[in-house]
């Protein structure tokens, strides 16, 4: 099982730079130190007082990307009562699920669809009497995780051609969840958000971004339903709960009867003797109506016969079941009953996010790319081939520049320039921390340091990749780069706290840091002169580099994902030799820093449990090794236990979620095994000196390191820089449904089922 862990976050691409720097906005007022997400949420106005977000504004010439909540009526029914979502340790799906219809996408461009869930306020709730009431402050925010729709990345045509359901997303209250589920606190209120991001593939994100929030999808998390009306609604609406309906065998009557029988007839284990009245009733109902898929629906007055063939019964059922249900007007215990409000352009900050799905895609893409020294060429071709069966019109030719895309329709100027060159691609975006000419005007090149073999895409670079770049286009030629000046521009995080669901300023696009996920940030224990959002997320190039093992050093800058595959984070079985041998990655490139060969060998690596996770063999770094890391400040944020020196200019508070980050393995500090030819050590004023490091400090899972209450037993030596709130790195986890090495070619990943919707391929597909 391939497990890829990235630090400290994921940068979707240069559009985030644009978000931060290219949009006019007022200078942020001075502000306290690094508000946490919870702080942000706590400062947010109560939901009931929230004004409906204004109609999203559109950049001139940009076709409006729209998202429509398909099962909005069902959501409203739940919302009227007060939606509760069960969260369990193993993860529980949301019901109702988020099912949306998109419009306004450029059919030729690729997009990734994401779901995240953000706290609505800073309160904890309790169900008292017949209503929910706040009973204190919310608990510390948990790691932000993002669920990527399994179809991602797919062309706009794909997304436009069908409704998009996020029913596979799961919620959990397990803070150390290793399955990649979205971690939430029980008895807290949350708001799901959907994000559309242009992406060349799973490893190259960039371009425009659109975020949507539907107020009716707010929910309260519970471990057991509190409001019986919600239970009733769920049972009535969810096909999986059919058994609990009045005509089901698992309804209370039947259960009681079964229990009685068990008491009197202990041998009747299943309680389904031939005389079982419930069974007979079911038979009577079903036999003459074979076309009915859900007899209970009939009882509710639905007429199924004239309905068209359902392609997704579960989803359609959600809609079908709405009609006969009485509208629940009593919202006394509900949250609120607002008109659905869409809040586009609320930017997702993927810093510290946990990509929860679809690693099989990434792996497939990775596997493809591994066979191609040119980087993404083959992978793109394979993706293209995988799609030719259903979208030949987009495969035969490069996607033409589209006037309908928000990406291309961006006006001239920094945004446009960024768009033109804005796709960080596999080989072209070696870290560049060149400061932007100004905080508000020009794009910030992603790449700093010495000239990479493949240049960073500079704004306006005609050869840079964009969504309009032909999918099989070669990578741009090498070009020189300005020497880096790390993070010399004003931090965007200095913007005031922003409510997650608050509307963007009228007439302005929402700044990325305004999203709550932009502030999963630990309060500082030391004075800081500037405030920043979470550690800069990993950008696409980092992801690509890390997972493109066959790139030779002249083509790819060194990037080595952290070997932090601890079991708390990854519960997947250790690889056996055959699995390893079948995986075409060479191990040093796969996941490990330049350890020696024995260290690099995954096959020889015993499965690590948490107590063993100390990396005793980690070699101390010498100065040259340290300086060779193209670290930016935020990348260093993961070194929380490695930088005990209070004088150390902690990077995470100077970074910016808009920045791409090119990360060494945090907490490891292992230098790359080699550098790019002609590329000397990369000076980084923020990289700690060896004296600042604690090479011998035990390596700990990041969550263990940063999560309050979790690190006490294994706390590394040295003072903690974070007093309470954790800095959560991005982790890319394997799709929990994948149990084998992800060597699937894309044609297996993108398999077209008869009815036209994709299925992600796992060892065994999850139900619908």
Q: Which residues lie near DNA (CB under 7 A)?
A: 86, 88-89, 92-93, 95, 126-127, 135, 168, 170, 173-174, 186-187, 222-226, 231, 234-235, 238-244, 248-250, 252, 254-255, 258, 269-272, 282, 293-294, 313-314, 317, 737, 759, 761, 764-768
Q: Per DSSP, which regions of 280-374 are E strands?
A: 354-355
Find how far residue 321's CA is from the centre of its chain.
31
CB nearer DNA, residue 241 or residue 328: 241
CA 221 – CA 425 distance, rounded (Å):
39
Work out how close the CB of 149 gets to DNA at its nearest, in angstroms, rounded to a whole number: 15
CB nearer DNA, residue 658 or residue 710: 710
Work out how close the CB of 173 gets to DNA at its nearest, in angstroms, rounded to a whole number: 5
- Measured distance between the N- and C-terminal CA atoms of the chain, rounded to whole angstroms: 24
Q: Using the structure block, give the residue that is written with the tokens 């679809």.
A: 358
CB nearer DNA, residue 582 or residue 596: 582
SS (H, E, C) 436-479: CCCCCCCCCCCCCCCCCCCCCCCCCCCCCECCCCCCCCCCCCCC
Beta bridge partners of 134: 125
CB nearer DNA, residue 137 or residue 270: 270
The DSSP call for residue 732 is E
Closest by Cα among 514, 410, 532 to 53: 514
b/e for 83-95, b at 16 or more Cβ within 10 A? bbbbbeeebbbbb
CB nearer DNA, residue 190 or residue 699: 190
CA 213 – CA 503 distance, rounded (Å):
10
Work out how close the CB of 276 gets to DNA at its nearest, in angstroms, rounded to a whole number: 8
Under 8 Å CB-to-CB from 419, ≥6 apart: which residues? 15, 18, 207, 208, 407, 408, 410, 466
The DSSP call for residue 88 is B
CB nearer DNA, residue 92 or residue 336: 92
Q: Is 540 helix (H, G, I), strand (E, B) or coil?
A: helix
Helix (H) or strand (E) holding 68: strand 66-69
Work out how close the CB of 161 gets to DNA at its nearest, in angstroms, rounded to a whole number: 18
Work out how close the CB of 251 gets to DNA at its nearest, in angstroms, rounded to a whole number: 8
Work out how close the CB of 237 gets to DNA at its nearest, in angstroms, rounded to a whole number: 8
Q: Using the structure block, give the residue that is written with the tokens 């691409």.
A: 13
CA atoms within 13 A of residue 428's CA, in its CB half-sphere: 30
Work out how close the CB of 388 gets to DNA at its nearest, in angstroms, rounded to a whole number: 18
Cis peptide leading into residue 8 (ω within 30°): yes
Work out how close the CB of 318 gets to DNA at its nearest, in angstroms, rounded to a whole number: 10
Indicate left, alpha or beta for 730 from its phi (over 0: left) and psi (-120 to 50: alpha).
Answer: beta
Work out how close the CB of 511 gets to DNA at its nearest, in angstroms, rounded to a whole number: 33
Work out how close the CB of 706 gets to DNA at its nearest, in angstroms, rounded to a whole number: 20
CB nearer DNA, residue 221 or residue 635: 221
Work out how close the CB of 455 gets to DNA at its nearest, in angstroms, rounded to a whole number: 42
426 contacts 545 by C-beta, under 8 angstroms: yes
CB nearer DNA, residue 43 or residue 92: 92
Handedness of CA 528, 534, 535, 541 (dihedral sign): negative
CB nearer DNA, residue 416 or residue 761: 761
Work out how close the CB of 10 gets to DNA at its nearest, in angstroms, rounded to a whole number: 24
- Which tokens hold the place of 542? 């980092």
CB nearer DNA, residue 314 or residue 440: 314
CB nearer DNA, residue 255 or residue 336: 255
CA 478 – CA 481 distance, rounded (Å):
9
Helix (H) or strand (E) holding 172: strand 170-172
CA 447 – CA 431 distance, rounded (Å):
4
Cis peptide leading into residue 96 (ω within 30°): yes
Under 8 Å CB-to-CB from 230, ≥6 apart: which residues? 78, 81, 82, 83, 84
Closest by Cα among 370, 377, 379 to 585: 370
CB nearer DNA, residue 482 or residue 743: 743
CB nearer DNA, residue 246 or residue 393: 246
CB nearer DNA, residue 354 or residue 643: 354
SS (H, E, C) 496-532: CCCCCCCCCCCCCCCCHHHCHHHCCCCCECCCCCCCC
The DSSP call for residue 555 is T
Q: Which class for 257: exposed (0-12), middle (13-18), buried (19 or more C-beta within 10 A)?
A: middle
Work out how close the CB of 267 gets to DNA at its nearest, in angstroms, rounded to a whole number: 13
CB nearer DNA, residue 254 or residue 654: 254
CA 687 – CA 667 distance, rounded (Å):
12
Work out how close the CB of 313 gets to DNA at its nearest, in angstroms, rounded to a whole number: 4
Alpha carbon of 198 to those of 114, 203, 249, 392, 722: distances in Å? 11, 11, 47, 20, 34
Q: Using the structure block, give the residue that is written with the tokens 């202990």.
A: 266
The DSSP call for residue 104 is S
Work out how close the CB of 573 gets to DNA at its nearest, in angstroms, rounded to a whole number: 14
298 contacts 289 by C-beta, under 8 angstroms: yes
CB nearer DNA, residue 210 or residue 242: 242
Q: Using the structure block, give the residue that is written with the tokens 């060149």.
A: 434
Work out how close the CB of 287 gets to DNA at its nearest, in angstroms, rounded to a whole number: 15
CB nearer DNA, residue 39 or residue 735: 735
Work out how close the CB of 366 gets to DNA at its nearest, in angstroms, rounded to a whole number: 22
Work out how close the CB of 225 gets to DNA at its nearest, in angstroms, rounded to a whole number: 5
CB nearer DNA, residue 295 or residue 431: 295
Indicate left, alpha or beta for 370 from its phi (over 0: left) and psi (-120 to 50: alpha).
Answer: alpha
- Which tokens hold the place of 261? 């029988």
């Amino acid at each position: 099982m391939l497990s890829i862990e990235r630090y400290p976050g994921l940068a979707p691409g240069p559009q985030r730079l644009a978000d931060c720097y290219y949009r006019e906005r007022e200078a942020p007022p001075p502000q306290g130190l690094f508000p946490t997400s919870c702080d942000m949420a706590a400062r947010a106005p109560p939901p009931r007082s929230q004004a409906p977000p204004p109609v999203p504004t559109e950049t001139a010439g940009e076709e409006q990307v729209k998202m429509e909540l398909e099962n909005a009526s069902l959501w409203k029914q739940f919302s009227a009562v007060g939606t509760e979502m069960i969260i369990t340790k193993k993860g529980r799906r949301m019901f109702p699920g988020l099912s949306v219809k998109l419009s306004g996408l450029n059919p030729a461009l690729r997009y990734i669809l994401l779901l995240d869930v953000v706290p609505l306020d800073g309160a904890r709730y309790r169900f008292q009497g017949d209503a929910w009431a706040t009973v204190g402050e919310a608990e510390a925010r948990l790691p932000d995780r993002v669920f990527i729709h399994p179809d991602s990345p797919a062309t706009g045509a794909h997304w436009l051609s069908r409704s998009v359901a996020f029913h596979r997303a799961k919620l959990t209250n397990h803070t150390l969840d290793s399955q990649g589920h979205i971690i939430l606190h029980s008895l807290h209120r949350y708001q799901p958000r959907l994000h559309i991001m242009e992406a060349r593939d799973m490893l190259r994100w960039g371009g425009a971004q659109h975020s949507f929030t539907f107020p009716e999808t707010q929910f309260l998390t519970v471990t057991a339903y509190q409001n019986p009306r919600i239970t009733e609604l769920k049972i009535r609406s969810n096909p999986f709960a059919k058994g609990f309906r009045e005509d089901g065998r698992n309804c209370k009557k039947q259960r009681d009867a079964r229990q009685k029988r068990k008491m009197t007839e202990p041998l009747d284990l299943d309680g389904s003797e031939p005389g079982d009245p419930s069974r007979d009733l079911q038979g009577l109902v079903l036999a003459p109506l074979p076309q009915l898929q859900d007899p209970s629906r009939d009882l509710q007055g639905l007429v199924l016969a004239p309905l068209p063939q359902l392609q997704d019964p579960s989803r359609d059922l959600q809609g079908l079941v709405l009609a006969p249900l009485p509208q629940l007007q009593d919202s006394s215990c509900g949250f609120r009953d607002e008109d659905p409000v869409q809040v586009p352009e609320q930017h997702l900050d993927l810093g510290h996010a946990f990509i929860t799905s679809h690693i099989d895609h990434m792996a497939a893409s990775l596997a493809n790319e591994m066979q191609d020294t040119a980087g993404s060429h083959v992978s793109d071709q394979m993706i293209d081939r995988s799609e030719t069966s259903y979208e030949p019109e987009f495969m035969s030719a490069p996607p033409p520049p589209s006037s309908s895309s928000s990406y291309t329709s961006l006006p001239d100027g920094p945004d446009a320039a960024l768009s033109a060159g804005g796709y960080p691609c596999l080989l072209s975006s070696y870290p560049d921390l060149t400061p932007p000419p100004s905080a508000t005007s020009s794009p910030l090149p992603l790449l700093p340091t010495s000239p990479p073999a493949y240049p960073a895409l500079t704004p306006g670079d005609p050869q840079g990749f964009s969504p309009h770049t032909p999918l099989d286009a070669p990578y741009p030629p090498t070009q020189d780069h300005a020497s880096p000046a790390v993070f010399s521009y004003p931090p965007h995080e200095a913007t005031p706290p922003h409510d997650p669901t608050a509307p963007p300023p009228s007439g302005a696009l929402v700044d990325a840091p305004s999203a709550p996920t932009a502030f999963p940030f630990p309060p500082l224990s030391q004075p800081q002169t500037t405030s920043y959002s979470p550690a800069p997320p990993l950008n696409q190039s980092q992801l690509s580099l890390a997972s493109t093992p066959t790139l030779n050093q002249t083509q790819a800058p060194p990037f080595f994902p952290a070997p932090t595959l601890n079991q708390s984070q990854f519960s997947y079985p250790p690889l056996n030799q055959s699995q390893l041998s079948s995986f075409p990655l060479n191990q040093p490139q796969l996941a490990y820093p330049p350890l020696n060969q024995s260290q690099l060998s995954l096959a020889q690596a015993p499965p690590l449990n948490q107590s063993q996770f100390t990396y005793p063999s980690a070699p101390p770094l010498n100065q040259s090794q340290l300086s060779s890391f193209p670290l930016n400040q935020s990348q260093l944020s993961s070194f929380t236990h490695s930088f005990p020196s209070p004088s150390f200019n902690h990077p995470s508070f100077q970074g910016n979620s808009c920045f791409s980050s090119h990360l060494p393995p945090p907490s490891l500090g292992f230098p790359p095994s080699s550098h790019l030819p002609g590329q000397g050590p990369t000076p980084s004023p923020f990289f700690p000196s060896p004296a600042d490091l604690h090479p011998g400090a035990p390596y700990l899972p990041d969550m263990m390191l940063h999560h309050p209450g979790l690190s006490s037993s294994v706390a590394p030596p040295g003072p903690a820089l974070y007093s309470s709130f954790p800095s959560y790195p991005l982790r890319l986890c394997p799709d929990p449904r994948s149990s084998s090495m992800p060597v699937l070619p894309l044609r297996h990943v993108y398999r077209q089922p008869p009815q036209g919707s994709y299925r992600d391929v796992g060892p065994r597909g999850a139900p619908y």
